[in-house]
Structure 1
Amino acid sequence: MQGAKVEDTAGATGLFGPDSVTWQLHADPTMWVAGVRALYLQALHPRAVRGVVQNSDFRKDPWGRLFRTADFVGTTTYGTRAEAERAGARVRRIHQFLRAVDPATGQSYRIDETALLRWVHCAAVVSYAEVVRRAGFPLTDGQVDRYLAEQRAAAELVGLAPDEVPGSASGMREYFEDVRPALGGSPEADEVWEFLRRPPVPPILWVGRELLWRQVAEIAYGSLPSWAHDMYGHRPIPQVAVTAGLRMLRTSTSLVLPVVRLVYESPHIKAATDRLGPEAKPSTAKLPAA
């Protein structure tokens, strides 16, 4: 009986649990900006972005990819182990049937190649850690390493072995140095760049897109490393404005979140606190020492 109880507890706390860096970091409001930054970065791998453009309906469903990614991150972070594994199995099942074609060679290739899965994973988790930290989330270097090590469990869900992705900041730096020769601008990357700056919306929302969303896109793009800006060929806003914008966005959002949560609370976090108790609610005060 005791063994069964331990197993049930492990399943209820999911892949990471309330004592993880992941649990606290992924609840930060600037994760949305980090998600947009991840899409900009991921699009700089020509083989990876080709797989998205050739297999995605993002032109007709402009917000679908971002929302589906957010739902996947929410489920794998705050869901039970079974829910996280089901989400991962669904992604693997979809990916195994998808192919892309290199227009220059006519070569067809699977989009779930290890190198492509690794790129998408690394570009995402580095964006999450770097953007949220730059916005003022109090992460130490040791906690960044712990976060990246924790995220190996997420990589495993999409079909990677834990040792196929870096588990530390130094490992990530080495990986990005190694992968840089495979990166670059492309017509597909230009399409993603334009799409993220001006996604299709109903006419009634045009003003909001230009006044609000455009600022988020500018900050997300500006937070990329300088070599990524060079590959895109577009000048970013000044770096001081990127940092100031991220911090202002995080501060202002944090002030209104308590009011928003009276009306709408993240379903993933709500389900986790209903399951595990109010003490499981994410907080920077609960960041584990590293």
Structure 2
Amino acid sequence: MGLMAPLQERLRTTFAGQAEGIPAWELALADGEDGGHFRPDSAVWAVHGSMATIPAGVRALLTQALHPGALAGVVEHSDYRRDPLGRLTGAIRWIFTVTYGDTAAAQRASAHVRRLHESVRGTYTGADGVRRAYCANDPDLTEWVHLAFTDAFLRSHQRWGGPIPGGPDAYVREWAVAGRLMGVVDPPRSEAALEDRMRAFGPRLAGGPRVDDVVGFLRRPPLDPLLLPGYRALFAAVVDSLPEERLALLGLRRPRLGPVPLPTRGAAGLTLAVVGRALGETGPSEAAARRRLRRLGLL
């Protein structure tokens, strides 16, 4: 474990915002008076409890950036360049609270995010060249963010995770709860419906200088030097996993050495195995949820 200690410290700082101890919000997931929206045998616990969530986060950000309205909200109303880890830990807190918390905690966390989003307003130029007003809580934007998230976590788990109880349809159907909590109208409930809804957004997506800027940032984020080699392997693998139409809009190409495709999937799998060994099999959010379930006699 001695050799893993520096890596563990830097990973905890990146994902939890602190190197030592467990954040109070994670410990609080042991509180509550019901089993929450999802249980240990759910598709959501399987997907969100695996190391595949790390490349999933990168894929989700790249995909979300293709909607000019969603991208405008990030560029104009967040400190993602000055405080990328702060934005990351905020997103992780919402995901894990909805995944592992009781229903009241999931509701509070989602309501908090929606209140923050209410002030995220402005205008953007759509893919059709029309100037539009937006609010981050607009149905169009909340739907795209939910679709991009669901697609990213499902596809990344299929590539680097284990079995999904009930299969892909079960994950999409279960995680629709999170979409409804965030105001998404009739979120998809099957893999096929997810694909159809994402295709329907095609004409509203666009690349351009703002997208190029975000891609450049995600390609070379200000991470601790110890984490950079592994991150580069993950980023390359995420790029390799994206469909051609998204790659074109993002200005990215599949990694190759001349005419030969690079083995990105295996390199990313090795990176995730090392990260998993450093962080441990069960994360503190899941452990807290299991304590609550045992206290309630549900486990």
> Could you say which residue in structure 2 is the equivalent of 1:269?
286
Aligned letter for 1:274?
A: R
2:177 matches 1:153: yes
> How high is the TM-score relative to the length of structure 1?
0.81
Per-residue CA deviation, residues 194-237 of structure 1 (Å, 9 max, x unaligned), is 11111235xxx4x4354232222222222221211111122122
> Could you say which residue in structure 1 is the equivalent of 2:108?
86
Question: What's the secondary structure of 2:34's corresponding residue?
Answer: helix
Aligned partners of 1:63 and 1:222: how far apart in 2? Answer: 25
> Could you say which residue in structure 2 is the equivalent of 1:138?
163
1:42·1:49 contact (CA, 8 Å) conserved in 2?
yes
Aligned partners of 2:43 and 2:294: how far apart in 1? Answer: 18
Aligned partners of 2:298 and 2:43: how far apart in 1? Answer: 13
Aligned partners of 1:107 and 1:175: how far apart in 2? Answer: 22
The aligned length equals 261
Aligned partners of 2:117 and 2:102: how far apart in 1? Answer: 23
2:65 matches 1:47: no
- Cα offset, 1:280, TM superposition: 8.2
2:209 matches 1:187: yes
Gaps of 5+ in 2: 1-31
- Cα offset, 1:68, TM superposition: 1.3
- Cα offset, 1:89, TM superposition: 0.6
> Could you say which residue in structure 2 is the equivalent of 1:198?
220
> Could you say which residue in structure 2 is the equivalent of 1:112?
137
* Among candidates 226, 230, 233, match of residue 215 of structure 1: 233
Per-residue CA deviation, residues 164-190 of structure 1 (Å, 9 max, x unaligned), is x21111101111221111112022211
- Cα offset, 1:273, TM superposition: 1.6
Per-residue CA deviation, residues 21-48 of structure 1 (Å, 9 max, x unaligned), is 1012110012111111110111111111
Aligned partners of 1:171 and 1:106: how far apart in 2? Answer: 29
Bigger mean CA offset, 171-180 vs 119-128:
171-180
Aligned letter for 1:196?
A: L
> Could you say which residue in structure 2 is the equivalent of 1:286?
none
Aligned partners of 1:107 and 1:171: how far apart in 2? Answer: 27
> Could you say which residue in structure 1 is the equivalent of 2:35?
13
Superposition pairs for residues 205-284 of structure 1, below 5 Å? 205=224, 207-208=225-226, 210-237=228-255, 241-258=263-280, 266-277=283-294
2:46·2:164 contact (CA, 8 Å) conserved in 1?
no
- Cα offset, 1:192, TM superposition: 1.2
1:118·1:160 contact (CA, 8 Å) conserved in 2?
yes
Aligned partners of 1:280 and 1:23: how far apart in 2? Answer: 15
2:230·2:271 contact (CA, 8 Å) conserved in 1?
no
In 2 relative to 1, CA 37–280 (structure 1 residues): closer, same or farther, beyond 3 Å? Answer: farther
> Could you say which residue in structure 2 is the equivalent of 1:25?
47
**Structure with more of its chain in helix, by fraction:** 1
- Cα offset, 1:247, TM superposition: 2.9
- Cα offset, 1:143, TM superposition: 1.5
* Among candidates 177, 194, 200, match of residue 178 of structure 1: 200
1:92·1:158 contact (CA, 8 Å) conserved in 2?
yes
Per-residue CA deviation, residues 127-177 of structure 1 (Å, 9 max, x unaligned), is 10111111142237x51101101111101111123x2x2111110111122
Per-residue CA deviation, residues 100-144 of structure 1 (Å, 9 max, x unaligned), is 22267664321211011000001011110111111142237x511
Gaps of 5+ in 1: 1-9, 282-290
Question: What's the secondary structure of 1:213's corresponding residue?
Answer: helix
1:14·1:79 contact (CA, 8 Å) conserved in 2?
yes
